[in-house]
Amino acid sequence: MHTSPEPAPPAPQAVLLDRDGTIVVDVPYNGDPDLVQPMPGAREVLDGLRGRGVRLGVVTNQSGIARGYVTRDQVDAVNARVEELLGPFEVWEVCPHGPEDGCGCRKPGPGMVLSACARLGLEPSEVALIGDIGADMGAAVAAGARSVLVPTDITLEEEVLAAPAVARDLAGAVRLLGVGAS
């Protein structure tokens, strides 16, 4: 008996991106917009996605707010700088809670992904999340979205091994999702 290979899933209609370590260089608890530095090639990849009609959003844990390291206004100013350098993004979801707060929004919980999907008017199955740590992958899986891990120096080996898909960089992640790359 001959079986056909599984067809590739359709390309996502929207891509959600982790902020720190995925689209901008990770500066822990950054409250200074002047320290925002795009990841190499991020602008070109994001512009390529926009050019193909893919909707974009950012989902970011910002526990520095709960820990008192940064204020919400500082995080908002950093996000505005990210938007200026890499935007526009149709949706921003920010979790201001710490790991011990037990909220539903903090990755690896699905809250921010589900909220972003609702705000975009899409089902989670129509969305993908690209991030650099296991919590990003966990949030996507918990929400029912696709995901691709782009490891950095802080990504743990077990997170790489457990990820549904792994790419060397943002452009590779976009290719794995079937939406091409610039």
3 pLDDT more than 60:
no
Q: What is the pLDDT of residue 9?
A: 77
93-120 tens-digit pLDDT: 999 999 999 999 999 999 999 999 999 9
Reference 75, options 89, 61, 86, 56; nearest CA is 61
CATH code of the region 14-176: 3.40.50.1000
This model's pTM is above 0.75: yes
- pLDDT band for position 182 (cuts 50, 70, 90): very low
Q: Quick one: what percent of the chain has pLDDT higher than 70?
A: 94
Domain locations along the chain:
14-176
Mean pLDDT of 21-32: 97
Mean pLDDT of the chain: 94
Q: What is the pLDDT of residue 50?
A: 97
179 pLDDT more than 90:
no
For CA atoms 15, 94, 65, 81, the dihedral sign is positive
Residue 61 near residue 104 (C-beta atoms within 8 A): no
154-172 tens-digit pLDDT: 999 999 999 999 999 999 9
Mean pLDDT of 15-38: 97
- What the block records as the tokens of 158 is 């077990």
Reference 65, options 75, 56, 55, 78; nearest CA is 75
Catalytic residues: 18, 20
Measured CA to CA, the distance from residue 56 to residue 50 in angstroms comes to: 8
Mean pLDDT of 68-76: 98
